[in-house]
Amino acid sequence: MKIHNFSAGPGILPAEVLQEAAQGVLNYQDTGLSLIEMSHRGPEFVDVMDQAIALVRDLLNLSNDYEVVFLQGGASLQFYMAPLNLLSSEGYAAYLDTGTWAANAIKEAKRVGRVEVIGSSKDKNYAYLPEFSVPSDADYLHYTSNNTIFGTQFQNIPDSPVPLVCDMSSDIFSKPIDASRFSMIYAGAQKNMGPAGTTLVIVKKDMLGKTGRNLPTMLDYQIHIEKESMFNTPPVFPIFVSMLTLKWLKNKGGLTWIGEVNRQKSDCFYSALDSSSLFTGTVEKSVRSWMNATFLLNDTRLEPTFEALLEERGISGLKGHRSVGGYRASMYNALPLESVQALVNAMRDFEQQHG
């Protein structure tokens, strides 16, 4: 039976990528060695790293004003590392509080320096995106483009008179964007790019070296840039799979292609949700996420019956985050429209039986 994987992360990867990755682990390019037992400084992996960085540049149309590195520690490390490298001791940073991960980013940035929260949707359990005005004297504005747990997403890049720093962990490479409007983008790999274990950081050169801090070596972007993401042993396998996924994306048609696919999946699911009498969405319609659709079964007594149907249909990973409950359909790039349709059919069949 086909399994329809709606896991919120680590998320689904393309089947052909998994097949190629598995072969690379067993016997990389007929060398008789696994990629994960080769030297990370050998020509085989150096080529993997070079390809991964080149694909990031190509897909996002990055100019030479930007550096691209693959690091470790997940986006959670970037919550601290970004302000450590970008926030001046005399200045302050503006942050938007739109969900759990945005709140965690604020918490860590406050360990570094002054932070002003210029907008928050916490008062309504992050069910909307707040209005805000960006101060012109902040060092930067930080926001989370897609809020994985609560299911909201910025549909447009905020206008800002100061540099934009964005956590794109759960919607990077999901649609065309104007990357030139950002001074820094970071993203954990495990949603749209690869397995957990590596984090993509894109940073504009003119943002670095201005804080006056004596930074710890492992937390200094400039060190990782100079060492081409190999100051220490990089996470070889996650970078390899990320490279394969980015290559798959480019060969399929890039961000224009995947943006249209993701729009179709989003329209398919939300159309069914809005016509349902048993299920209800949890966030304002205008800011619904294309990546993480959050919803509730109105009669919680029916949840065991619904979940039995999901299991019978091979629909996996739909439980909402433990902090909010309900259900969450994560529709990352590699999830086919066929899987969204399977979920919609299950919801409609369930409604016919219990509505």
Give 3-state DSSP helix, strand, coil % of the chain, rounded to 5: 40, 15, 40
Instruction: Residue 143: name the closest of 211, 79, 92 by CA.
Output: 79
Residue 123 is given by DSSP the state G
Burial of 52 (0-12, 13-18, 19+ CB in 10 A): buried
In the chain, residues under CATH classification 3.90.1150.10 are 254-354
Active-site residue list? 101, 167, 191
**Strand-pair category, 146-147 with 152-153:** antiparallel
Q: 245: pLDDT confidence band, cut at 50, 70 and 90?
A: very high
Length of the chain: 355
Distance CA 288, CA 128 (A): 9
pLDDT score of 323: 78
Instruction: List pLDDT tens digits, range 321-342.
Output: 887 889 999 999 999 999 999 9
Q: How many CB atoms lie within 10 A of CB 287?
A: 18
First to last CA, the chain: 28
Instruction: Calculate what percentage of the chain has a pLDDT beyond 70.
Output: 100
What's the rounded mean pLDDT across residues 233-262? Answer: 98
Instruction: List pLDDT tens digits, range 129-156.
Output: 999 999 999 999 999 999 999 999 999 9
pLDDT, mean over the chain: 96
pLDDT score of 2: 84
Instruction: List pLDDT tens digits, range 277-299.
Output: 999 999 999 999 999 999 999 99
Distance CA 175, CA 331 (A): 13
Instruction: List pLDDT tens digits, range 100-133.
Output: 999 999 999 999 999 999 999 999 999 999 999 9
pLDDT score of 158: 97
Distance CA 331, CA 31 (A): 36
Instruction: List pLDDT tens digits, range 47-80.
Output: 999 999 999 999 999 999 999 999 999 999 999 9
Cα-flanking dihedrals φ and ψ of residue 220, to 5°? -105, 115
Contact at 8 Å (CB) between 44 and 38? yes
In the chain, residues under CATH classification 3.40.640.10 are 15-252
* Token output for 97: 């509080």
Instruction: List pLDDT tens digits, range 206-216.
Output: 999 999 899 99
Instruction: For residue 80, give Cα distances in angstroms to 110, 113, 133.
Output: 9, 10, 24
pLDDT score of 60: 98
Contact at 8 Å (CB) between 343 and 311? no
Distance CA 248, CA 242 (A): 10
pLDDT score of 321: 84
254-354 has which CATH code? 3.90.1150.10
Q: Looking at the domain covering 15-252, what would its CATH class be?
A: alpha beta
Distance CA 14, CA 5 (A): 11
* Token output for 72: 């470790």
Q: 177: pLDDT confidence band, cut at 50, 70 and 90?
A: very high
Paired with 146 in beta bridges are: 153
pLDDT score of 324: 82
Contact at 8 Å (CB) between 121 and 97? yes
